[in-house]
Every structure is written in C-alpha cells, then in structure tokens.
Amino acid sequence: MATKIYIVYYSTWGHVATLAEEIKKGADSVPGVEVTVWRVPETLPEEVLGKMHAAPGREDHPVITARQLAEADGVLFGFPTRFGMMAAQMKAFFDSTGGLWQEGALAGKPAGVFFATGTQGGGQETTALTAVTQLTHHGMLFVPVGYTHGAGMFAMDEVKGGSPYGAGTFAGADGSRTPTDAELALAEHQGKYFAGIAKKLKAVV
C-alpha cells in the first residue's frame, strides 16, 4: 500500500504554491509514495484579496477539509508569514482540527513545514518555530530538513530563503520576487527527504 503524503498550504501571491509543487516533485521521486497537493480554505473576501493583488487559487489544488488530514501518512504544511507566525488562513485551518485532536487522529504522523516571508528578517525561523506548537498538540512528529541538502545550505554568495526547519523563499515586500533556483532545489530535496522518512515510518508502525 502506497505511503500517502499530503502537501497542505496557503499562498497569497503564489510563492508558497510554487514551493509546494517543487516539494511534490521531490516526494514523487520516492517509489511507493502517493502525493497530493491541497489548499486550505480562504478566509478573506474577494474584495480584500483584490486590493492585496492576491494570486487566484490554484484550481488543480483542491481545498482540503480538516477531516481529510487523517487519511495521510505524513503532511507537509506551507504558509506565508504574518509578523513571524503562520498566516491566519492556515491558523484557522488548524483551529478547525479540534475533532482530530480529540480523537488523536494525527498522533504519530510525521509532519514538516515550508514558508515564505517578505524580507530576510521576516520570520524564516520564527514562522517554523511557532508552527511546531500546532504539530505538538496533535502529537505529530516534526521532521525538519536539517542540513541534509549539503554544502549549498552553507553558501553565502546569494540571498536565499529556507533553513534547517524547512524550505523557504522571500516574496519581497510587494510580492514581486520569485523563488530562486537554490530555494526551489531545497524544496525539491525536502519533499524527497520527507517522503523517505514517512515511508520508513509507515513500514514499521
């Protein structure tokens, strides 16, 4: 039976959605793994989204319900930052998982995070750190990418997002910056690395 990996994200300008696709590419490279990309429900009205110049939701990424999380063997959550923490849309989704928490439905499942921030000081680490509280209360097993991507993670020759906590990118204050090749490479690696861990765990549980 295939190991089911769910990539669940919220994206304002499309940066997190781009990372999600790269993560899927990496996870898909692991034999015996089945990967699905999902969006969480939007909480803002269209009028507000228009003023923010938000990208339209990806129709090829269906909207997930909290209950569907229980179907996965492992979940990677992606989100932009708001003042060093996950965006309210993702927090609202986690807030809707109370029933799963009560049942312990997510306990023992591996989970990871990826993210986008507007600036270098915008929360590439704090966004991940504060997200771990959500995973902890569910009893999920946090799987950071660490420095498993190799020497490139130590390179100082370019500005790049991402950290040992997970893949990341910088959107720029106005959303005009796009993910770089280095950022996309880390995202793909995270997908492959996480899928391998989830597959091993499923085999022994």
Q: Which of the following CATH numbers is that of domain 3-203: 1.10.10.10, 2.60.40.60, 3.40.50.2000, 3.40.50.360?
A: 3.40.50.360
Mind listing the pLDDT tens digit for each residue in 135-156? 999 999 999 999 999 988 998 8
On average, the pLDDT of the chain sits at 95
Which sequence spans correspond to the domains of the chain?
Answer: 3-203
Taking the C-alpha atoms of residue 155 and residue 14, their distance in angstroms, rounded to an integer, is: 26
Tell me the three state secondary structure of residue 45.
Answer: coil
Mind listing the pLDDT tens digit for each residue in 75-100? 999 999 999 999 999 999 999 999 99
Ranges of residues in the chain whose predicted pLDDT is under 50: none
Burial of 129 (0-12, 13-18, 19+ CB in 10 A): middle
Nearest partner of 118 among 87, 145, 154, judged by Cα:
87
